[in-house]
């Protein structure tokens, strides 16, 4: 028996596990401390009424012999695939139902998708980045090259010259920085991917936070993307499904190599290794895309964006550089010191928890992420505490 020794190359602890341990240690030493958590990107508002009503109805169906459902299709029920296809159609994107695969979230699909690619592929990842992109490839032993996202390029790097890649990770709006690519910028990445016969794994988990029609919500709004891009989206932030688990991945039929269709391979992978998302959750997810569901979820998104705006106003007053917030729930601020030292200082002096930029990569050092996913009143209080310590 041999183990996967690539695990030796991983950091000892996942970023958010380290943060949780630090907060636990501080809380044990300071039990009276009133800690405000603006670190992990978990939602705080409940599921909207349209979703819960749909889920209640689905529960009732499951309790009756004539409407009970057992195993469902691993790739998702057609009713949810149809709702998603119609949602994309509003932005001029045409999808076939069998290009849409329902899953338990973006994190799972971004890791599981790697089953389809040889370990000899070179992976291009922006730095700083959501740690899952890196760790899942380290686990498989792939070569990773990084493209620098910096203050100078607005944390929106463009394709590097004279660098070949086979798999490319992109996230827009970005986690952790909150930066959003324009159509022209995404077009450069699509052209680069097609030129190199590469596949873009496009993480659109925060697309619902984009507040401008001038910015693309989907990579398929860009000409040429259907031959090179897989889009992964989660309903965790869009519909508050962090505790309910549902998302989807779009795999266009035009992507192929070595006589194999990526769409057919993903279908085969999912039907072999995945039993599908349960019926009750999928009925709840379908409700997100109804007019009532859209109005209610957009209200929640506005709530979180207003939280981010509260933090941004204080940073403006303090003259601290930041990006994100406007089209994203995240504020990426320049802390001007070691980011873990800033974490400790913020926890000790303000009892506020954030996320050190260094946890997202080398270029994250000197920066810090705060999230707008907290309670509104507590976010205002956290912003005031920031003002008081600077």
* Neighbouring residues of 280: CB distance < 8 A, sequence distance ≥ 6: 55, 58, 59, 62
Q: Is the dihedral of CA 256, 259, 260, 264 positive or negative?
A: positive
What pTM value is reported for the model? 0.96
Mean pLDDT confidence for 119-148: 97
How far apart are alpha carbons 140 and 146 in whole angstroms?
17
Domain boundaries, the chain: 13-42+292-389, 49-289
Residue 35 has pLDDT above 90, yes or no: yes
Residue 184 has pLDDT above 80, yes or no: yes
How far apart are alpha carbons 50 and 298 in whole angstroms?
12
pLDDT confidence tier of residue 77, bands split at 50, 70 and 90? very high
How far apart are alpha carbons 252 and 273 in whole angstroms?
21
| 380 burial via Cβ count (<10 Å: 0-12, 13-18, 19+) | middle
**pLDDT at position 41:** 84
Residue 13 has pLDDT above 80, yes or no: no
Q: Are 13-42+292-389 and 49-289 the same fold in CATH?
A: no
381 membership: H or E segment, kind and range:
helix 376-389
Residue 12 has pLDDT above 80, yes or no: no
Residue 166 DSSP label: S
Mean pLDDT confidence for 104-110: 96
**pLDDT at position 68:** 98
The per-residue pLDDT for range 355-380, each reduced to its tens digit, is 999 999 999 999 999 999 999 999 99
pLDDT confidence tier of residue 85, bands split at 50, 70 and 90? very high
Beta strands in 79-228 (DSSP E): 100-103, 122-127, 143-148, 167-171, 199-203
**pLDDT at position 223:** 98
Mean pLDDT confidence for 53-68: 98
Residue 65 has pLDDT above 90, yes or no: yes
pLDDT confidence tier of residue 316, bands split at 50, 70 and 90? very high
How far apart are alpha carbons 7 and 10 in whole angstroms?
5
Architecture category of domain 13-42+292-389 in CATH: Alpha-Beta Complex (3.90)
Q: Give residue for tokens 């980011």.
A: 339
Mean pLDDT confidence for 114-123: 98
How far apart are alpha carbons 52 and 58 in whole angstroms?
10
Q: Which is it for strands 167-171 and 199-203: parallel, antiparallel or unpaired? A: parallel
* Neighbouring residues of 378: CB distance < 8 A, sequence distance ≥ 6: 36
Which of the four CATH numbers 1.10.287.3510, 3.40.640.10, 2.40.160.40, 1.10.3720.10 does domain 49-289 have? 3.40.640.10
């Amino acid at each position: 028996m041999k183990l996967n020794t690539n695990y030796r190359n991983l950091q000892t602890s996942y970023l958010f596990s380290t943060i949780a341990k630090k907060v636990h240690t501080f809380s044990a030493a300071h039990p009276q401390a009133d800690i405000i958590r603006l670190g992990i990107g978990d939602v705080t508002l409940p599921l909207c009424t349209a979703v819960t009503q749909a889920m209640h109805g689905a529960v009732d169906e499951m309790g009756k012999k004539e409407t009970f459902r057992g195993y469902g299709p691993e790739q998702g029920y057609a009713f949810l695939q149809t709702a998603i296809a119609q949602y994309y159609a509003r932005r001029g994107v045409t999808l076939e139902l069998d290009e849409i695969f329902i899953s338990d979230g973006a994190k799972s699909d971004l890791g599981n998708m790697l089953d389809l690619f040889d370990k000899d592929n070179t992976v291009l990842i922006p730095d700083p980045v959501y740690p899952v992109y890196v760790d899942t490839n380290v686990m498989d032993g792939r070569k990773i090259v990084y493209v620098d996202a910096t203050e100078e390029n607005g944390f929106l790097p463009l394709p590097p010259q004279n660098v070949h890649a086979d798999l490319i990770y992109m996230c827009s709006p970005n986690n952790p920085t909150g930066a959003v690519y324009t159509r022209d910028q995404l077009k450069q990445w699509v052209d680069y991917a097609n030129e190199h016969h590469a596949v873009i794994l496009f993480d659109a988990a925060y697309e619902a936070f984009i507040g401008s029609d001038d910015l693309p919500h989907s990579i398929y709004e860009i000409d040429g993307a259907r031959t090179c891009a897989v889009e992964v989206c989660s309903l965790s932030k869009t519909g508050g499904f962090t505790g309910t688990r549902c998302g989807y991945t779009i795999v266009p039929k035009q992507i192929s190599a070595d006589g194999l269709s990526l769409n057919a391979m993903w279908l085969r992978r999912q039907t072999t290794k995945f039993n599908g998302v349960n019926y009750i959750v999928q009925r709840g997810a379908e409700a997100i895309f109804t007019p009532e569901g859209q109005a209610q979820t957009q209200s929640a998104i506005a709530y979180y964006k207003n939280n981010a705006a509260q933090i941004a106003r204080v940073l403006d007053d303090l003259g601290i550089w930041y990006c994100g917030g406007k089209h994203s729930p995240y504020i990426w601020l320049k802390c001007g010191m070691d980011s873990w030292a800033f974490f400790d200082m913020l926890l000790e002096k303000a009892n506020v928890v954030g996320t050190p930029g260094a946890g997202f990569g080398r270029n994250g050092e000197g920066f810090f992420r705060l999230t707008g996913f907290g309670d509104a009143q507590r976010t205002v209080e956290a912003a005031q505490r920031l003002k008081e310590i600077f």
